[in-house]
């Protein structure tokens, strides 16, 4: 598959390297400055499967578009992609703001980042996923043989199996979390991971998993 990853920071860089390594996917990083030293170093670490181009060029030729930019830049980044009607979008953003108690969610009860992304990405199919664990876990989602959990929420039931398969390529135990409005739950779930990791002493080297009977 050809994947456009918009942003090549912690999440984007980690996902691009992991998808190239685990499934041989072709990675097009959509970045504002493809020649930047940090981007060139990332490309060198991944090898021939990855390139960096302008965001609109990446989005235009890809099967999937993965959003990995900070929340305040998300609307502008989507607008910079041009016509993305018909594209499949994986939205990994969390609507974080810094308040008096540190990081928190800007929105959540009546709207989510995922639903706002759908509003900006007219005609595209948006799925909320890859937002509920730390970026390093996206490269190593299996803990002592147990797959950590990753949710996919979205309304497009035709394309949802493809998104689930793509996320499973990384090694996650993938669960269909229902419609896109459930991004409200997934973004709160992400905030729980962030709160425990950064404020309650758990650190980043752990993840949620499911137990079944
Ligand atoms: N960090 C985590 O563990 C984690 C886990 C799950 C979800 N998330 C969410 O994932 C998102 C990214 O987090 P991160 O830690 O990867 O951030 P990061 O390391 O700061 O990387 C952000 C990337 O977005 C790019 N970017 C910013 N504005 C852009 C635009 N208009 N067009 C294209 N690219 C743009 C930046 O490019 P430049 O270098 O050009 O600025 C950079 O490559 C956030 O929404 C975050 O809440 C983070």
DSSP code of 73? G
- pTM (2 d.p.): 0.98
Edge-first strand order for the sheet with 26-30 is 50-53, 26-30, 2-6, 64-67, 88-91, 125-129, 149-154, 173-176
Average pLDDT, the chain: 98
Does the CB atom of residue 70 touch ligand 1 within 6 A? yes
* Element spanning 127, H or E: strand 125-129
DSSP letter for 107, please. Answer: -
CA distance 165 to 142: 16
Provide the pairing of β-strand 142-143 with 146-147.
antiparallel
Three-state SS for 120?
A: helix
Contact 11, 92 (CB under 8 A): yes
CB-ligand 1 contact for 42 (6 Å cutoff): no
Identify which of 152, 147, 127, 9 has the alpha carbon closest to the alpha carbon of residue 65: 127
Rounded to an integer, the average pLDDT of 76-88 is: 98
Are 108 and 182 spatial neighbours (Cβ–Cβ below 8 Å)?
no
**CA 112 – CA 118 distance, rounded (Å):** 10
CA 64 to chain centre: 11
pLDDT at res. 23? 98
Q: Which atom of ligand 1 is nearest to the CA of 8?
A: 43
pLDDT for the residue numbered 116: 98
Confidence of residue 163 (pLDDT cuts 50, 70, 90): very high
Q: Is 55 in the pocket of ligand 1 (CB under 6 A)?
A: yes
Whether 32 lines ligand 1, by a CB cut-off of 6 Å, is yes
pLDDT per residue over 102-135, tens digit each?
999 999 999 999 999 999 999 999 999 999 999 9
CA distance 69 to 11: 8
pLDDT at 113: 98
Helices (H) and strands (E) in the chain, counts: 8, 12
Give 190 Cα–ligand 1 centroid separation in angstroms.
15
Q: Write out pLDDT tens, residues 41-64.
A: 999 999 999 999 999 999 999 999
């Amino acid at each position: 598959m050809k994947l456009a990853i918009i942003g090549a920071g912690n999440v984007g860089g980690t996902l691009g390297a992991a998808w190239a390594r685990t499934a041989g996917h072709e990675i097009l990083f959509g970045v504002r400055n493809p020649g930047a030293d940090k981007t060139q170093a990332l490309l060198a670490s991944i090898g021939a499967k990855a390139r960096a181009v302008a965001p609109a060029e990446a989005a235009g030729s890809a099967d999937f578009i993965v959003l990995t930019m900070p929340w305040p830049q998300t609307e502008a980044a989507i607008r910079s992609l041009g016509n993305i009607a018909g594209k499949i979008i994986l939205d990994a953003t969390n609507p974080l703001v810094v308040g008096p108690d540190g990081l928190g969610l800007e929105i959540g009860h009546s709207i989510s980042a995922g639903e706002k992304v759908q509003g900006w990405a007219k005609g595209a199919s948006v799925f909320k996923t890859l937002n509920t664990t730390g970026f390093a876990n996206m490269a190593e989602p299996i803990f002592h043989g147990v797959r950590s959990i990753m949710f996919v929420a979205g309304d497009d039931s035709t394309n949802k199996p493809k998104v689930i398969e793509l996320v499973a390529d990384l090694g996650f135990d993938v669960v269909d979390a229902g419609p896109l409005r459930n991004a409200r739950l997934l973004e709160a779930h992400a905030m729980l991971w962030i709160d425990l990791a950064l404020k309650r002493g758990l650190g980043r080297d752990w993840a949620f998993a499911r137990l079944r009977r």
